[in-house]
Amino acid sequence: MQDATPQLLPGVGPGRLNPTGAALSFIFVTVVLDTMALGIIIPVLPRLVESMVGGDTSRAAELFGIFGTAWGLMQFVASPVLGALSDGYGRRPVLLLSTLGLGLDYMLMAAAPNLVWLFIGRLISGITAATFSTANAYIADVTPPERRAGAFGLVGAAFGVGFVLGPAIGGVAGDMDPRLPFWIAAGLTLANFAYGLLVLPESLPHERRMAFSWSRANPVGSLRLLSEHRELLGLAGVAFLFSLAHNVLPAVTVLYTSYRYGWSSQTMGLTLAAVGVASGIVQAGLIKPAIRLMGERTTLIVGLLCGVAGFTIYGFASVGWMFWAGIPVLALWGMGSAAAMGLMSRLVSASEQGQLQGANSSLIALAGLLGPGLFAHIFALAIAPGAAWQLPGAPFLLAAALLVAGTVLAWWVTRPTLDPAAGQA
């Protein structure tokens, strides 16, 4: 009798879910470009907004905050929708259409004649850049459960590469023309779309798909999946604390290092590049060995403790070299994220991977709505002239405290062995 088992990828059987090199390369490049979008915005968008309000820096800062909140809101809403769509119609069309939309949106923002059009562009960007959930679902489709944490680490490495390249490209090109980085990003993204049309296979066969439902696609509905298992809900809490703590970095790092160490923009740019390189090394080179050696549960806890140590170093660093010494320590924190995602992906069915990643992205977006204002306010209070105590590193110490809470929660919720490799009860 002829074998009717569907092939997930060309030449790949049901027991050997390994993606082709071209497909995984496309996922890697997509995440790099999405992250570059964030990085390019850092040095360019504030200047572009400022130029549109006649050089009024105070007004530009207010508007930039509104733009950031709106972008995060779109991520919060769009991530579960894209995840549910990918569960129902496949990963390939969602990834390709999102990539096309992002490339066209770059062109819109590059040509935006005023703040209204620029704001519309940012709203669209928040929707089309919400592809991390679908990319992670693709990885879950084509990777055996015991290897997913390492594969998610590859996506994390792509994030690090994008974060190194984005600010560098945005800073250099933006000095020539604040709109030029958007044209560059548009060209790269549209080229990636064309590449994906040729090489990206579908990873989710029809019999494993789940009918699209708005009850699962809305942010609240997508989060309902997380409440179906105690372990999944607890790990989602860890992921939220993880993401909330991470927001201290974009929220106050530039202001903090300028205030405390007198760093220039160039020094800060080199420091951001070093952070991205260290993160990429950990994500690409250390996660798989760590998982093999310690198992996902222990790797999660160790990663969180490294985050606690790194943020503590940042918070008490009285001179710049001490801050730099904390970079490799904090980079080890990235092991925890990949391990948590690997554990969570084991607790849902194959047809729910997109919904799970959409829910995770919604948690990240929710943290992105809450975190910047929280940490910026703490920093302002800590350095105010009339403050009872002066502690510029207070935001980083708060982030460390959040990760302490995340470590305790992770230890408690994973006590029933989720990771067979850990060999612990």
| Rounded-to-integer distance, Cα 133 and Cα 361, Å | 6
User: Do 187 and 238 belong together in one domain?
Assistant: no
DSSP three-state, residue 12: strand
The per-residue pLDDT for 305 is: 95
CA distance 159 to 32: 6
Instruction: Find the domain containing 257 and state its range.
Output: 226-417
Model pLDDT, residue 358? 66
Residue 206 lies in a domain: no
The verdict on 234 and 165 lying in the same domain is no
Same domain, 258 and 370: yes
Kindly state whether residue 161 falls inside one of the protein's structural domains: yes
Residues of the chain short of pLDDT 50, as ranges, are: 1-20, 57-58, 418-425
What pLDDT, on a 0 to 100 scale, did the predictor assign at position 105? 92
- Number of domains comprising the chain: 2
| CATH code: domain of residue 384 | 1.20.1250.20
Residue 8 lies in a domain: no
Residues 267 and 344 in one domain: yes
CA distance 99 to 73: 19
For residue 193, the tally of other CB atoms under 10 A from its CB is 23
In a domain, 291, yes or no: yes
- Assigned token pair, 40: 């390019």
Q: Is the Cβ–Cβ distance between 203 and 138 less than 8 Å?
A: yes
| Predicted pLDDT at 267 | 73
The answer to whether residues 231 and 371 belong to one domain is yes
**Does 288 share its domain with 373?**
yes
- Say whether both 192 and 233 belong to one domain: no
Q: Are residues 46 and 90 in the same domain?
A: yes
Query: What integer pLDDT is reported at residue 283 of this predicted model?
Result: 74
Separation between Cα atoms, residue 278 and residue 228, nearest integer Å: 36
Q: What is the pLDDT of residue 170?
A: 74
| 319 is a domain residue | yes
User: Are residue 385 and residue 236 in the same domain, yes or no?
Assistant: yes
- pTM (two decimals): 0.64
Supply the pLDDT for residue 422.
43
Same-domain status, 189 and 232: no
Is 98 a domain residue? yes
